Amino acid sequence: MQDPVCKMEVDNTTKYRINYKGITYYFCSQKCLDEFKSNPLKYVSPVDLNKKIDIKIVYCRPCKFMDRALNLARDILSYFEEANVELVQGDKGIFDVYVNDELVFSRYIEKRFPESEEILKTLSNKLQLAS
């Protein structure tokens, strides 16, 4: 993540953060956070305000994959507050993850379940491309 004020790279675990119009911004220090609060429009582009990401997790209910889908959804929502996550029941062993209607992971293709970290990285890359 990048501090919008000083452009320094920061971790999403920083205590300096603010949710502004549905998007969480992260800061390196209280000083940068205060500067942002004083004039957010100076640091936020209209593109950022329209930046949302839709995630759909299709999981096999008869296979009891719901817990995996819920855990992945929880991880996504805890990292990306601008994400909309939808869980869709399926069958026949399905566990697919879509980002903005694009398939980014398929249990059938990969022959395994996704790791949360790889999905989070994919989402982060897609959000950076959108900005």
Q: Estimate the crossing angle of helix 116-130 against helix 66-79, to 10 degrees.
A: 40
- As a whole number of Å, the CA-based R_g of the chain is 17
How many CB atoms lie under 10 A from the CB of residue 68? 18
Let me know whether 61 and 13 are in one domain. Answer: no
Let me know whether 19 and 63 are in one domain. Answer: no
Show the domain range for 33. Answer: 1-50
The tally of domains found in the chain comes to 2
Q: Pairing between strand 53-60 and 23-26?
A: unpaired
Domain end, chosen from 32, 50, 68, is at 50
Query: Which CATH number fits the domain that encloses residue 63?
Result: 3.40.30.10
Q: Put residue 92 in one of left, alpha, beta given phi > 0 → left and psi -120 to 50 → alpha.
A: left
Q: How high is the pLDDT of residue 126?
A: 76
Share of the chain above pLDDT 90, in %: 60
Judge contact between 65 and 87, C-beta under 8 A: no
Q: Is the pLDDT of residue 130 over 70?
A: no
Q: What is the pLDDT of residues 63-99, one digit of tens each?
A: 999 999 999 999 999 988 778 899 999 999 999 999 8
